[in-house]
Amino acid sequence: MANSTQLYVRAIGKVSSDRDEAIDDNWDSVQSFIELDADQFTKEALLGLDEFSHVEVLFYMDQVDPGKIEMGARHPRGNVNWPKVGIFAQRAKNRPNQVGATICRIIKIDGLKIWLEGLDAINGTPVIDIKPWVIEFGPRGLVREPRWIQELMRDYWKADSRNSDTH
């Protein structure tokens, strides 16, 4: 690509989680926190964040197999009952730049640690950025989505009953 732009991003911290592999469902049963890099930040970087109920976390899915990166279209989760759609019409981990984004509930903030519910990133995942979730940045107008994504997401956040007492 003649006009390709190179980006250099430094992780601000990493995820600590009970989950070591990217299993597709039951993410609300996962205990996790983000610990900011003490070489870059003091606890003042999180000052005032506890006044928000949620944060949006951007992270780099560094454990994705480079040979599985999708540049075109595929059936989500390999399910041929769902339509073949382009990688940018789904939230799959096998993305060209391997960037994930999730809105999570803040449980507590302790020093450089942010304890979260609903972070779908595995243990050791580098965190790129954390932003407070602000209602005004949410969707404006009617939100629509295809039926297949509703089916795919049915158990995504569901708490696994074997781990439901870990919250």
Question: What was the pLDDT predicted at 28?
Answer: 61
Structure tokens at 77: 């989760």
pLDDT tops 90 at residue 46: yes
Comparison of pLDDT for 89 and 158, the residue scoring more: 89
- Token pair 């469902």 is at which residue? 25
**What is the set of domains in the chain, with CATH numbers?**
13-135+143-160 (2.40.30.70)
Q: What percent of the chain has pLDDT over 90?
A: 64
Longest dimension (CA), the chain: 53
Amino acid 64 reads: V
Confidence of residue 103 (pLDDT cuts 50, 70, 90): very high
Amino acid 98 reads: Q
Residues β-bridged to residue 36 = 13
At 114, phi and psi to the nearest 5?
Answer: -115, 110
Query: CA 109 to CA 4: how far, in whole Å?
Result: 39
Confidence of residue 93 (pLDDT cuts 50, 70, 90): confident
Average pLDDT, the chain: 87
